[in-house]
């Protein structure tokens, strides 16, 4: 059985003093009992001493003797209730408290004891009433304030709980449990820094407070401070090797660090402590799911649900596993059940399953409900933002999208800056670091905002990934010397453009992530900045690529890309294989040139002998080289990859092949995008139907004309004429 009572001392010396005091008190009671073995006050006193010494059975025996000696003494019944509760005999404890209340219906200690029992039984509403009755009799009872706070916290009424913890601290400012509980409530309210301060205060008052170390570590992990999180969690498990939640949190940390061997090691420690604990079984399920082992995940989940079919997180995980298998209707039913059981994340998860079914309005409402119900859940607000953006509500969507910085699924360890965030205020020459944060495509899409920052009077520094840094130099604002570029993680000697760089840590006054700029500028569907093609290639490089591929073949020159970054969570949905495009290559008379990079480019080697797709980009050093080749093409056909953004930013005709439920930036039921006027969006009509989509592309290309000149004229004549809803 896990120990839940912490040592009352902070140092060995104080522990010795405390033990000495108990011994002295016990000797005094023993002398009283020698004179009168049925002395009720002495029996009750000895029970309390035994309880303080964790001798629960002795405490029960003494308190029972006290009630036998003085059946009308309510303090004896209260002591018996406390001893029975400590021994885990909760039903008997409740009867003992009832006896005390029969003698004094408002006895605050009996009411408080009943409240604690009802919290343990999962009846927080009843518990709250008991603590309120205790406080009505004795408002200064700190433990009752704490108990009422705990009951409110169990009901997710964290703001009210915090008030109670603060009242307890007003009476006992150095009470570590109250600081710890206040930290818990603050964390649930999204006030992370204040929560961290409270946990640290609890630890300062009680250095051996293992639960506080564990909660601090968990909070630091959520904030991306992984090294400090690990230290805190390790300290928790050193103090309490039997603290299962400490080992589970260490496993979660290592899972997020992509260290599966260490994560599994810690889960095994937790499991060995108590194989029947359902939280550990669920943690195993989550771990196996993260390792893409659905069979293993289902095995652990079935074990957990065999123990408790109504455990809200187990039911939520059931929904997640069903969703991962594409069984969205079943997932929705599971999430609805988890919601009814009180799971906070299930509502937003249900919204994601509704999205996959195309039930957009219901999905939006689910995400709104989740965000309103618990604003401290960044994942709920992030999912709401993506749905708002998808449905064209950019006024709210861009603002809510800032929740990504608190959502570890997006940013596990957000960058920290000493400089303040730029939020759109007028600039007078200040240098503003505009830094990339996600994929290459995101950088290509949002780098256009550098010109708007310069127009506000700022001096932008575009800090971007190495594969796109040279390409960024083609931006007009960089060529004009109004902005500069640098590589993420590079030294100041690698700064180019305006040449104003000095110490990288101090050579700018403000910072802003590239993907926050639409929120700063209040971008709507109608106000997307489009200055015309804003990225390009060096003329000499273009001429070289044209010469390199002059003999590639007759007909229109069409670039192909079929796979994005495999590390992206939804890549399996958005990417396909080259073999999927073979019917297109065979059916349309064109010169096909691959723009594919990475591991997927190796698929070119497996093409049949009668199919020709030239490898144009697998050996490119960066996207500036790819841009030079793209400039020579009549059309680019690609799945949702960085190549789509490159072609769009260059003003090239680009057909983007999208899954049934595409990324939020491509919105819904439209074949055009305000981000790239020369782009067409072609979507699957049903989930996973690449074959049907390719047949449609074949028909569209055949109708556009066979020659390079005809195709180019048709594509460039007016790309927006293709705007229409996709047929059902």
In a domain, 465, yes or no: yes
The domain containing residue 482 runs over which residues? 431-520
**What pLDDT shows up at residue 725?**
26
**What pLDDT shows up at residue 428?**
94
In a domain, 249, yes or no: no
In a domain, 99, yes or no: no
**What pLDDT shows up at residue 16?**
45
Contacts of 689 (CB under 8 A, 6+ apart): 660
In a domain, 464, yes or no: yes
Span between the terminal Cα atoms of the chain, in Å:
60
The secondary structure element, H or E, covering residue 487 is strand 484-487
pLDDT averages per 10-residue partition of the chain, 728 residues? 31 46 76 85 86 88 91 91 92 92 91 92 93 94 96 93 97 97 93 96 97 96 91 97 95 94 96 95 96 96 95 97 96 97 94 95 96 87 96 96 90 88 95 96 98 97 97 97 91 41 71 97 96 95 91 82 89 93 92 95 92 93 96 96 97 96 94 97 95 95 63 49 27
User: What is the residue whose two structure tokens read 């992509």?
Assistant: 258
CA separation for the pair 1, 56 (Å, rounded): 13
What is the SS3 assignment for 567? coil
**Are 509 and 624 within one domain?**
no
φ, ψ at 321 (rounded to 5°): -65, -40
Residues 214, 245 contacting (CB under 8 angstroms) = yes
Of 464, 491, 520, which marks where a domain is finished?
A: 520
**What pLDDT shows up at residue 503?**
56
**Are 641 and 716 within one domain?**
yes
What is the SS3 assignment for 656? strand
In a domain, 655, yes or no: yes
Q: Please state whether beta strands 557-561 and 591-594 pair in parallel, antiparallel, or not at all (unpaired).
A: parallel
Residues 636, 653 contacting (CB under 8 angstroms) = yes
- CA separation, residue 449 to residues 419, 456, 516 (Å): 20, 11, 10
Q: Give the chain's radius of gyration (CA, Å).
A: 33
**DSSP β-bridge partners for residue 575:** none
**Are 446 and 594 within one domain?**
no
CA separation for the pair 133, 395 (Å, rounded): 48
**Are 465 and 569 within one domain?**
no
In a domain, 400, yes or no: no
CA separation for the pair 84, 58 (Å, rounded): 10
CA separation for the pair 643, 564 (Å, rounded): 9
**Are 502 and 571 within one domain?**
no
**Are 492 and 629 within one domain?**
no
Domains contained in the chain, number: 2
Of 490, 520, 550, which marks where a domain is finished?
A: 520
Of 468, 485, 520, which marks where a domain is finished?
A: 520
In a domain, 61, yes or no: no
Residue 405 DSSP label? G
**Are 552 and 653 within one domain?**
yes
**Are 498 and 549 within one domain?**
no
Q: Give the distance, in angstroms, between the CA of residue 300 and the centroid of all CA atoms in the same chain.
A: 23
**Are 560 and 463 within one domain?**
no
**What pLDDT shows up at residue 490?**
62
Crossing angle for the helix pair 360-373 and 346-356, to the nearest 10 degrees: 170
pTM (global) more than 0.85: no
**Are 494 and 569 within one domain?**
no
CATH code, domain carrying 586 = 3.40.50.2000
In a domain, 436, yes or no: yes
- CA separation, residue 469 to residues 303, 421, 463, 621 (Å): 51, 23, 8, 11
Q: Give the distance, in angstroms, between the CA of residue 307 and the centroid of all CA atoms in the same chain.
A: 28
Contacts of 32 (CB under 8 A, 6+ apart): 39, 41, 42
**Are 491 and 565 within one domain?**
no
**Are 702 and 627 within one domain?**
yes
Residues 77, 70 contacting (CB under 8 angstroms) = no
């Amino acid at each position: 059985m896990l120990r839940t009572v912490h040592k009352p001392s902070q140092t060995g010396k104080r522990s010795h003093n405390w033990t000495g005091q108990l011994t002295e008190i016990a000797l005094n009671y023993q002398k009283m009992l020698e004179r009168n073995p049925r002395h009720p006050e002495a029996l009750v006193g000895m029970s309390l001493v035994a309880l303080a010494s964790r001798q629960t059975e002795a405490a029960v025996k003494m308190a029972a003797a006290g009630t036998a000696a003085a059946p009308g003494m309510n303090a004896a019944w209260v002591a018996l209730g406390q001893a029975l509760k400590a021994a885990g005999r909760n039903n008997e404890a409740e009867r003992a408290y009832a006896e005390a209340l029969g003698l004094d219906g408002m006895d605050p200690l009996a009411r408080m004891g009943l409240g604690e029992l009802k919290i343990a039984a999962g009846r927080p509403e009843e518990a709250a009433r008991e603590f309120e009755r205790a406080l009505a009799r004795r408002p200064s009872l700190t433990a009752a304030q704490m108990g009422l706070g705990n009951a409110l916290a169990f009901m997710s009424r964290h703001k009210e709980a915090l008030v109670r913890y603060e009242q307890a601290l007003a009476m006992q400012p150095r009470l570590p449990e109250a600081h710890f509980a206040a930290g818990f409530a603050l964390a649930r309210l999204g006030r992370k820094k204040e929560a961290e301060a409270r946990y640290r205060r609890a630890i300062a008052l009680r250095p051996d407070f293992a639960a506080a170390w564990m909660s601090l570590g968990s909070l630091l992990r959520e904030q991306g401070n992984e090294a400090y999180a690990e230290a805190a969690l390790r300290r928790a498990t050193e103090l309490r090797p039997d603290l299962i939640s400490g080992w589970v949190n260490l496993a979660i940390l290592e899972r997020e660090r992509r260290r599966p061997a260490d994560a599994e090691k810690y889960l095994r420690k937790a499991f060995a402590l108590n194989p029947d604990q359902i939280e550990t079984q669920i943690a195993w399920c989550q771990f196996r799911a993260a390792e893409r082992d659905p069979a293993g995940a289902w095995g652990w989940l079935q074990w957990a649900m065999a123990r408790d079919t109504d455990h809200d997180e187990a039911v939520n995980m059931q929904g997640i596993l069903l969703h991962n298998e594409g069984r969205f209707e079943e997932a929705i039913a599971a999430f609805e059940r988890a919601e009814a059981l009180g799971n906070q994340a299930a509502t937003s998860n249900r919204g994601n399953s509704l999205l996959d079914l195309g039930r957009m309005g219901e999905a939006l409402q689910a995400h709104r409900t989740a965000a309103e119900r618990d604003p401290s859940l960044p994942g709920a607000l992030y999912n709401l933002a993506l749905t708002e953006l998808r449905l064209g509500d950019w006024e709210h969507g861009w603002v809510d999208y800032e929740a990504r910085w608190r959502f570890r699924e997006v940013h596990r360890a957000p960058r920290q800056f000493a400089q303040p965030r730029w939020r759109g205020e007028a600039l007078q020459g200040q240098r503003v670091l505009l830094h990339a944060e996600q994929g290459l495509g995101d950088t290509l899409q949002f780098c256009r905002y550098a010109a708007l920052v310069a127009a506000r009077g700022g001096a932008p520094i575009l800090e971007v990934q190495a594969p796109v840094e040279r390409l960024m130099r083609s931006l007009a604002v960089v060529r004009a010397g109004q902005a500069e570029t640098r590589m993420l993680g590079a030294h100041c000697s690698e700064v180019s453009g305006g040449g104003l760089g000095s110490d990288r840590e101090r050579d700018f006054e403000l910072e802003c992530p590239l993907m926050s700029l639409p929120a700063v500028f209040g971008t709507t569907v109608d106000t997307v900045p489009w200055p015309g093609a804003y990225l390009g290639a060096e003329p000499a490089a273009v001429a070289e690529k044209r010469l390199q591929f002059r003999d590639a073949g007759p007909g229109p020159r069409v670039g192909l890309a079929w796979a994005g970054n495999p590390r992206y969570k939804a890549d399996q949905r958005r990417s396909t294989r080259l073999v999927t495009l073979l019917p297109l290559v065979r059916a349309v008379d064109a010169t096909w040139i691959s723009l594919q990079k990475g591991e997927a480019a190796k698929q070119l080697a497996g093409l049949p002998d009668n199919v020709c797709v030239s490898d144009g980009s697998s050996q490119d050093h960066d996207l500036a080289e790819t841009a030079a080749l793209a400039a020579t093409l009549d059309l680019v056909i690609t799945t949702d990859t960085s190549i789509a953004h490159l072609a769009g930013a260059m003003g090239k005709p680009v057909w983007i092949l999208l899954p049934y439920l595409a990324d939020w930036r491509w919105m819904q039921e439209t074949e055009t995008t305000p981000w790239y006027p020369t782009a067409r969006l072609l979507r699957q009509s049903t989930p996973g139907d690449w074959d049907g989509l390719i047949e449609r592309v074949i028909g569209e290309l055949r109708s556009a004309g066979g020659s390079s000149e005809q195709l180019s004229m048709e594509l460039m004549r007016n790309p927006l004429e293709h705007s229409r809803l996709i047929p059902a």
